[in-house]
Amino acid sequence: MNLTGNTIFITGGGSGIGRGLAEALHAKGNQIIISGRRKAALAEVVAANAGMDSIELDVESLDSIKSVATTLTAKYPKLNVLINNAGIMKDDVVDFPIDDTIASSIITTNLLGPIRMTSALIEQLKAQPAAAVITVTSGLAFTPLARTAVYSATKAALHSFILSQRYLLKDTNVRILELAPPYVQTELGGEHQLTDPNAMPLGAFIDETVQVLGTDADEVNVKGVAMLRNNVGPDEYAFFSKFNDMMSGR
């Protein structure tokens, strides 16, 4: 996609991958609007990046999504890129009874959130000369992490949704892109992840991601996620088992 001259709305832009993408794309001359539930985090990002804008959004709330979409389209009539980045990860082991509140929150945030946000803005995007929807899934969409079974399942569902969306919009001016990160140094899995040497440094991930984003690729994936992304086929359970044994220290 064209990396300059866009008006880009990013959910979950107050930290981690969302903030990294926001700042990298802001530096390339795009109008960036970030959103999230934490006002202080949004204010910090905007203060550090002159010209960036923010809006409070609760992706678990359909009313919040509709309200934000109405505000955005009125204030930014040239809005042409949506980055569905907001997501949460919590341990949701399924060999014991699942906490329904946690499971519902993960599903609503990670799956219904991007579906609803895209739906709320799709006509706005279709009206632009060139537009894109970039949805952040995960390498765990293809090789799930057993201790985050519900999280992994929401990302797998998003991948399926993206395929259908891309097919249905193939004859329009809206490109549908998927970004499946590997294990990256963010706070998604807890503060320990920010400094875990086994995780890809956030800066390196953002640099490589933006480089791929500037190509014609439908999947904007860094090289480090290939092992997980390519694990599809009749032998996937064997690889899945080895991966989870490694992650659990067995």
The residues annotated as belonging to the active site are: 151
DSSP for residue 1: -
One DSSP character per residue, 112-168 reads IHHHHHHHHHHHHHHTSSSEEEEEE--GGGTS--GGGHHHHHHHHHHHHHHHHHHHH
DSSP for residue 116: H
Six token digits for residue 33: 């609007």
Six token digits for residue 178: 């998927």
Six token digits for residue 96: 């014991």
- Residues 148 and 247: their CA atoms lie apart, in Å, by 12
Please compute Rg for the chain using Cα positions. 18
Strands 7-10 and 53-56: unpaired
- Residues 174 and 217: their CA atoms lie apart, in Å, by 14
